[in-house]
Structure 1
Amino acid sequence: MKFNYKKNIAAPLMIGLSMAIGLSSCQKDFGDINKPWDSKAYSATIPAMYNNLAVGMLEAGTSRTIFSSFLYQNTQLAANYAASGYRLNDQVGGAWTNYYTALANYREVETMIAKDLKADKMTNVKAMLKTLMAYKTLKATTLFGDMPYSQAGKGFSGPEFYRPAYDQQSDIMLAALNDLKWAVDNFNTNTDQYSLGSSETIFKNDIPTWIKFANSLRLRYAMVMRNKNASLADPIIVETLTKPLLAPGDNLGIYPSQVTGLTLNRAPSFRGNSYVRMGSTMWNAMSSTNATDGSGIYDLRCKILFEPNKAGQWVPYPQSPTEATTAEIVGDAPYLDARKTNFVSTGNYLYSPLSIFYVADDKIPELFITAAEVSLLKAEIYNRGIAGVVANPVTAKAFYEEGIAESVKFWYKTANSTSIGSVTKPNAAPTALELSTMLMHPAVAYNVANPAAALAQIYKQSWIALFHQPYDAWVLKRRTGNGTPNVALSPSSPVINLNKLVYPNSEMETNYENWKVVTGGADDMASKPWFMN
């Protein structure tokens, strides 16, 4: 099964009416549980419905061009050397459709479970479904803000649900966090539990991993809303710290190597109108000098995620270019598939690109949440002394260094296993000396004596660790009030006030009255979602 991340056209919200069509989904491991394509009738089953929701966890079809054309610029994880031909409002439909397809199917499988004679043995299945849907809901609302939720995905129940009202983001987040709590509290290892068997393609029926996943998501999103509503977030944060969280080595997501026939082709998102290069903000976060020979590089991830230019020099593209900036040679030379087998590019380019390994390896997992992120969230908690946790710079430093090490180890392991043989591979893991040298570098060493400076370091390292998760890096940037590394962008930048994704055009066309209530009749990406206020 091959997923290409490409531009999609927005689909109407009323996708709930056709929720059962999703059962045809996908081939290989994700789809073998369904009936043959040429059957005259299709019957929904709980394993099939669960599996269809699992397929939707992939971002396939959610317009990854948002990443390279807009989010890379806004988060400054990378830079665009030319204006993209993509329009933001043409890119959002995939994410919207992906979410509401999943929500409609989730509503239906809930009903199916309630009617099943084995419902009392399906606690784990319900907890898995609640966890997946809560994850998608929290992600969707941090993208769009207020959304149809409590009345959405119910089109099959009657015409009164065809045009669902929008819920406030605060209510949506609380409902999803409550679902995650229910899942954490109800997952169990009783042998009489109904098993999805091979249909459970996410964590292979590993209940302890499911618990850590759900609890770690609670921690992430409680921190997202903490600055807005501490009285609501703090009890959640305290509780998550007493229950299982991701530990070193836990990097949860969908791994193509574990699903027969699955590939995740990200390459199209870096060609054509994407115009992506390593930006000066990231370069300054990884190198202590502008030496083009790379002698100032201190971050062990730099040479894995980025490359020198065609001349073999490390030259970032300015995050905020001026008229004096030398223009890049327009072309896709560094990202062509031919470089997977012939590393030397036939084209020319003046600025350092993302590495061909990162762009072209279709086995890099799609990550949900990682040990690095969780460790750095703990570092933030102990740095700030929030949620009843006493500020402790020593403990904060330990989690800070653990988070950095986990991120570095992930990229070493991932690069070492690449099928692109022309890439110089690092060891399977960094040596103790390499890690300690990086952690002791003046730009990285935790500032125990200055909590404010140390907090900036935590946000910087969290931002770098989220390089492969630009949506989550965007949430981090917004929830911290631009606390992640950034420089002032040009006033003409198309992402200078990108605070939310605009709603797809289909919403204005098919759900106008409710759309108008929430937008005032003019949707604006500069409008701040609730968690930012």
Structure 2
Amino acid sequence: MKINNIRTIYRGACTMLLMLGLLSIHSCDDDFGDINKNYEANIYEANVPGLFAGLLQSLQKTGAHYRIPVAWLYQWNQQAAMYSASGYRLDDNTTQPWQNYYKNLANAYDIEHLIAEEEDPSSMTNIIAMTKVVMAYKTLANTLLYGDMPYTEAGKGFFDTSAFRPTYDDQQSIMHAAIDDLTWAMDNLSTSATQVSIGASDVLFGNDVSEWVKFANSLRLRYAMVMVDKDASFAEPIIADALTKPLLAADENVWLDPGVTTILNNREGFFRGNSYMRMGSTMFNAMSSTNAVDGSGIYDLRCSILFEPNEDDEWIPYPQVPDTNTPTVTGDPHIGGRLSDWNSNRSNFATFNVYYVQDHTIPQFIITGSQISFLKAEIYNRGLAGVSPNPAMAQTFYEEGITASVNFWYNHAYNSIWAVNKPAAAAPTATELNDMLSHPEVAYSADAATALSQIYKQSWIAMIHQPLEAWNLQRRTNNATPNVPLPSTSLVSDFNRLTYPPSERETNRTNWTAITGGTDSEKVKIWIQP
């Protein structure tokens, strides 16, 4: 399997030094002797390799990126079920992604300014293109969290004091601009020997231009599909063009792999404390053809890898819509002690597999080949972007996406900490895989509408480790992902976006008020939603 990895770089001290290099500080020079002379000032100077490495480092999720799914999102997109309200406050968890984005937007502009001052800026076009790819991805991800946001005037405060309080751009124009940046990057990335290499700072693809092109094009396809039903005139030409150019194969992924870097991805704390989740009935029903508690109806090969049965080894999911007869939840099944004592602290409901929770080496996906395969399946199913509907092609890509997802989880679980219910091999047998693909609940339907529902369902399952992407799919398709209607009394309802950080209300109030009307709410739909 061909995999693209990113090594994480810790430059905490360098970040502080970088900020010193970026800020212009004026002070009185009289009577202070050498106090105004920077100590080894040259080491504080911002430089292109350091700034670029920082951009790649910033692709790591913040704590809020993990907390939001377990506290709100899993219940709303129904990839899991909450049995009690989270103790977290939403407005306490919207700042980190916002700050991460705008800090790095400013750094990206600084990269462009530094390159513009070089004797031969054209020799560094590749670096500008790679910077645009990273920032386009971050821009698109951020606007899909918040909706409208500052963009054209944002990140320029170091260069233009009038941009201290930037106005908000609408989501449609932001997505246009970011996708255009991806297209520009693809058109300008070059294998010419005249291009300066970023060297060891490119820990994502090791200066492999072809991989950067493939990454950019795959992002174009993903985000054009996010907006195709709202802005077909813009999105469909992008989709048509993307299909003619290199895309991630089903077994290729762009991810941050802590298993390679020894920088472990510790997620366990987010599944405990103020997180009250179990396997939900919606997910179980998407993986099993019956409610048999012995698991005899389970046909999805990923089920026992990602989830585990209850304390009696029975597959009893927590109801997505509990009632007064629903038993009180017991156990503390996600604690690390269960790795050495499996039967301790188990729950009376099926839940996330303790190995999935405790494994610190599961990569953080940026974009997967499986997702690209499902998008292709949708395109050929619906006949989008000038492509004639082609059920055979749609089925091929649909099965390709499922296979890639199953293979990943088998391989990872086999080579990681799984012990109980560990896969027997690093990949399912041909018979096992065929049995799943040919199961009546999975086998690609001859009816196009039913088949489209299957594509959305399998894509939603495959994105269990990408809940924000599953949320994007849920929102853009108007809840066409697996779901049951949630009542107004649900622990989470109408979760359509993140509210803006409190700092926006305080420091950019005029523009914040103009976009929110003075009241901010997660229930407000963003532009991509029908």
Q: TM-score, normalised by structure 1?
A: 0.91
Q: Is the 8 A contact 1:499 1:529 kept in 2?
A: yes
Q: Give the partner amino acid of 2:413.
A: A
Q: Note if 1:526 corresponds to 2:523.
A: yes
Cα separation, 2, equivalents of 1:517 and 1:18: 34
Larger CA Rg, structure 1 vs 2: 2
Q: Note if 1:201 corresponds to 2:203.
A: yes
Cα separation, 2, equivalents of 1:79 and 1:281: 8
Q: Give structure 1 regions of 4+ aligned residues with deviation exceeding 4 angstroms.
A: 1-4, 38-41, 420-423
- Call closer, same or farther: CA 1:58–1:497 in 2, change over 3 Å: same
Q: Is the 8 A contact 2:83 2:318 kept in 1?
A: yes
Which range moved further: 181-190 or 244-253?
181-190
TM-aligned CA deviation for residue 81 of structure 1 = 1.4
Q: Note if 1:444 corresponds to 2:438.
A: no
Q: Is the 8 A contact 1:121 1:192 kept in 2?
A: yes
Report the counterpart of residue 113 of structure 1 in structure 2: 115
Report the counterpart of residue 424 of structure 1 in structure 2: 422
Out of 50, 53, 57, the residue aligned to residue 52 of structure 2 is 50
Cα separation, 1, equivalents of 2:507 and 2:471: 29
Cα separation, 2, equivalents of 1:65 and 1:22: 31
Q: TM-score, normalised by structure 2?
A: 0.91
Q: Is the 8 A contact 1:81 1:328 kept in 2?
A: yes
For residues 409-420 of structure 1, the aligned pairs below 5 Å read 409-420=407-418
Report the counterpart of residue 178 of structure 1 in structure 2: 180
Q: Is the 8 A contact 2:338 2:344 kept in 1?
A: no
For residues 126-275 of structure 1, the aligned pairs below 5 Å read 126-259=128-261, 261-275=262-276
1:265-288: CA deviations, max 9, x gaps? 111110011111111000000011
Cα separation, 1, equivalents of 2:256 and 2:9: 12
TM-aligned CA deviation for residue 352 of structure 1 = 1.0
Q: Note if 1:395 corresponds to 2:397.
A: no
RMSD, aligned α-carbons: 2.1
Identity over aligned pairs, percent: 50
Cα separation, 1, equivalents of 2:63 and 2:47: 24
Cα separation, 1, equivalents of 2:475 and 2:149: 18
Q: Is the 8 A contact 2:84 2:491 kept in 1?
A: no
Out of 467, 470, 486, the residue aligned to residue 467 of structure 2 is 470
TM-aligned CA deviation for residue 22 of structure 1 = 9.4
Cα separation, 1, equivalents of 2:297 and 2:469: 28
Specify every segment of 5 or more residues in structure 2 that has no aligned partner in the other structure, as ranges: 1-6, 23-38
- Call closer, same or farther: CA 1:343–1:3 in 2, change over 3 Å: farther
1:319-353: CA deviations, max 9, x gaps? 11111111102x5x21112223x041422411111
TM-aligned CA deviation for residue 420 of structure 1 = 4.9
Out of 361, 366, 369, the residue aligned to residue 367 of structure 2 is 369
Report the counterpart of residue 307 of structure 2 in structure 1: 306
TM-aligned CA deviation for residue 392 of structure 1 = 0.8
Q: Is the 8 A contact 1:343 1:422 kept in 2?
A: no
- Call closer, same or farther: CA 1:2–1:202 in 2, change over 3 Å: closer
Q: Give the partner amino acid of 1:463.
A: W
Aligned length: 503
Cα separation, 2, equivalents of 1:55 and 1:348: 37
For residues 316-335 of structure 1, the aligned pairs below 5 Å read 316-329=317-330, 331=331, 333-335=332-334
Q: Is the 8 A contact 1:479 1:532 kept in 2?
A: yes
SS of structure 1 residue aligned to 2:333 = helix
SS of structure 1 residue aligned to 2:265 = strand
Q: Note if 1:82 corresponds to 2:84.
A: yes
Q: Is the 8 A contact 1:2 1:264 kept in 2?
A: no
Cα separation, 2, equivalents of 1:2 and 1:202: 9
SS of structure 1 residue aligned to 2:365 = strand
Q: Give the partner amino acid of 2:230.
A: K
Cα separation, 2, equivalents of 1:483 and 1:335: 30
Q: Give the partner amino acid of 2:370.
A: A
Q: Is the 8 A contact 1:3 1:60 kept in 2?
A: no
Specify every segment of 5 or more residues in structure 1 that has no aligned partner in the other structure, as ranges: 5-16, 25-37
Q: Is the 8 A contact 2:82 2:491 kept in 1?
A: no
Q: Give the partner amino acid of 2:112.
A: E
